[in-house]
Amino acid sequence: MELSRRNRSLLSVLLNLLALSFSVAAFFTSYWCEGTHKVAKPPCLSAVKSKNCQVLSMNSSSTSTDTTDTNGTLNENVVHYNWETGDDKYAFKYFHTGFWFSCEKHQGEEACRSFIELSPDSEKGVLWLSVISEFLYIILLSLGFLLMCLEFFSSSNFIDGLKMNAFAAIITVLSGLLGMVAHMMYMTVFQVTVNLGPKDWRPQTWYYGWSFGLAWLSFTLCMSASVLTLNTYTKTILEFKYRRRIFEKNVRECNPFLDPEMVRFLWEKYIFSVSSTVDDPFNWHKGFGSPIFVDIGSITDLPGAVKEEERRVDLEDDGDQC
């Protein structure tokens, strides 16, 4: 089923709106990547089995009272033995990170640090460049959305709407390219930070989060909106060219001695007069090959027109008036 021009414009507006919403949500959330950090547990604070920890003094003949002071705290000269081995002696903390923050959750508490500070010094420039690109992506996407809305809801003529349609398509394509570059730069910085970042932050395992999915879904919707808008513009331009050939053919059949400049003037006059009264002038001429009729009875009053005598002779020779 072929969509009308107005329905295609409406679909482009909706796709652009979804892309803008998803891009803002992805940029300001910190779930681009998720995973776990492997951290050593404090001595004798294992949650697995606390009875595996024993306290022994350096002197084997000492009693239990030698291991504690009068306040009941452990003596500094006492050696702590932990029987846990393997992964039992490590704690795995869940973390999630984005453009702005990297947060860790452990035992119901969440602590966040700036991801910009965690990234290596050699990658801070690339990270800031990706942040700026994300801002430009959102700004251009908003501008494209505004132009699409103006083209869809404005009461201007058809020609002005077609110009806004072309600008919206170009701006939306540029925003999509900026968004793609920003996403790729951020993921490059994150992978470098995984290998060269602070040792207490380096993740044991990690995977892509839902913010990452929203970002690329936004890019997909953005490019879909731009392609649909560009398709509407291209289809209209091709229809213009086809209709103009039919128009020139019919005009020359009526008067083959018309100056080419006059034919162009009549075409522009026809297009602007029709586009100012209807939303889509091509809806008047359904079907492939349907002719366009124009009243050229008063062309002798226009600049560059042929003489009345020559026009009368030509019409008599043809034996048929247009």
Q: Look at residue 272 and tell me if it is in a domain.
A: yes
Structure tokens at 241: 């060219």
pLDDT tens for 43-66 read 555 444 455 555 444 444 444 444
Instruction: Report in angstroms the alpha-carbon separations of 290 from 226, 236, 282.
Output: 31, 16, 11
List CB contacts of 54: < 8 A, sequence separation 6 or more.
81, 83
Q: Look at residue 28 and tell me if it is in a domain.
A: no
What is the per-residue pLDDT for 200?
A: 83
What total of structural domains would you count in the chain?
1
How far is the C-alpha of 16 from the C-alpha of 3, rounded, in Å? 18
Strands 33-40 vs 79-82: parallel, antiparallel or unpaired: unpaired
Q: Look at residue 97 and tell me if it is in a domain.
A: no
- Per 3-state DSSP, the chain is made up of helix, strand and coil in percentages (nearest 5) of 60, 15, 30
How far is the C-alpha of 212 from the C-alpha of 218, rounded, in Å? 10
Q: Look at residue 247 and tell me if it is in a domain.
A: yes
Helix (H, G, I), strand (E, B) or coil at 71: coil
pLDDT tens for 185-196 read 999 999 999 999
pTM flag (> 0.85): no
Q: Look at residue 111 and tell me if it is in a domain.
A: no
How far is the C-alpha of 250 from the C-alpha of 321, rounded, in Å? 12
Instruction: Report in angstroms the alpha-carbon separations of 137 from 115, 130, 178.
Output: 21, 10, 6
pLDDT tens for 234-267 read 777 777 677 767 766 776 667 666 666 666 666 6
The better pLDDT of the pair 316, 27 is held by: 27
Closest by CA to 102, choosing from 169, 2, 202, 20, is: 202
Q: Look at residue 226 and tell me if it is in a domain.
A: no
Q: Look at residue 284 and tell me if it is in a domain.
A: yes
Transcribe 267-321 into DSSP letters: HHHHHHHHHTT-S-GGGGS-STT-------TTGGGSTTPPPHHHHHHHHHHHT--
List CB contacts of 15: < 8 A, sequence separation 6 or more.
221, 222, 224, 225, 228
Q: Look at residue 220 and tell me if it is in a domain.
A: no
Q: Give the structural domain span for 283.
A: 242-318
Give 37: exposed, middle or buried? Use CB within 10 Å, 0-12, 13-18, 19+: buried
